Amino acid sequence: MKKSYTLSVRERVDAALILLRRDNPRARITVSELCRIAGVSRANLYTSHQDVVESLRREVPAASPHAQPASVPTVMKKLREELAAEVRKNRALVYLLTELRAELQRKYARRAHLAPMKRPRQR
C-alpha cells in the first residue's frame, strides 16, 4: 500500500515564503500572493497563522523622515552590476540555444540519412 504524504498548512506556507523570497528577495510579499502560492485561504492564514501575517507586516520598511536615500552613484553602480549579471545570463542562454539547435540539426540530418536504409525491400 502506498503511503501518501501531504504537507500541513504551515509547511506549505513556509515553503511558499521560501520560494517567494528566493525568486525576488527585495520584493514585498503580500498575504494574497502568499496564500495563492501556498494554496491556503486568507481566512486560514489570518486566523491560524497570525505570526506569519505579522512577520510580513514587519518586513515592510517604515518610511522614516530621517532615512537617507541611497546616493545616485551607489544606486547606479548596483543597477550596472545587476544589468551585467543579466547580460551574462543572456549570453549563456544564447550559447546554450545555439548548441541545442546544432545538436537538433545533427539529429535531423542523421535521421534523414538513416531513413532510406530502414525501408523494407520490395519483392
Is residue 9 within 8 Å of 49, Cβ to Cβ?
yes
- Residue pLDDT, tens place only, 57-66: 887 554 445 5
Q: In terms of C-beta density within 10 A (0-12 exposed, 13-18 middle, 19 or more buried), how is residue 80 classed?
A: exposed
At residue 62, the pLDDT reads 47
| Residue found by looking up cell 497563522 in the block | 49
The tens digit of pLDDT for each residue in 39-52 reads 999 998 899 889 98
Alpha helices for 39-71 (secondary structure H): 42-48, 50-59
Prediction pTM value:
0.45
d(CA 8, CA 77): 43
**pLDDT tens, position by position, 5-25:** 677 888 888 888 888 888 877
Determine the Cα–Cα distance for residues 37 and 24; give it in Å rounded to an integer. Answer: 14
Q: Any idea where the domains of the chain sit in the sequence? A: 7-60, 72-123
